[in-house]
Amino acid sequence: MKKSATIRARMEPDLKDRAEYIFRKLGLSTTQALTLFYRQVELRKGLPFEIAIPNETTHRTFEDTDSGREIVLCKDVDDMFNKLGI
């Protein structure tokens, strides 16, 4: 198939650099990575990952932890499971 379509996008330079570093580590060019993304969108008939707006409980939890409220510290994994009742 003829490859002549061009994509132009504006994004933060640091994000672009970090993503392209990962692509290189995977042995992919940016074009190959974007083609994989588009193929997955086509295959799934949507984005290849879930995007959701956090519910009120999750939103409140983010606000609390960002503010340093209601944070439970655990000394190790066993302590964490004990505090969770697991």
Q: pLDDT (tens digit, 9 = 90+) per residue, 41-71?
A: 999 999 999 988 889 999 999 999 999 998 9
Please state, for a pLDDT cut of 90, what percent of the chain lies above it: 84
Q: Please indicate, yes or no, whether the overall pTM of this predicted structure exceeds 0.75.
A: no
Is 38 among the domain residues?
A: yes
Number of structural domains in the chain: 1
Is 34 among the domain residues?
A: yes
Q: Which domain holds residue 20?
A: 13-44
Instruction: Give the pair of three-digit tokens for residue 66.
Output: 């960002």
Is 69 among the domain residues?
A: no
Cβ atoms of residues 72 and 83 within 8 Å: yes
- Angle among Cα 31, 33, 37 to the nearest 5 degrees reads 115
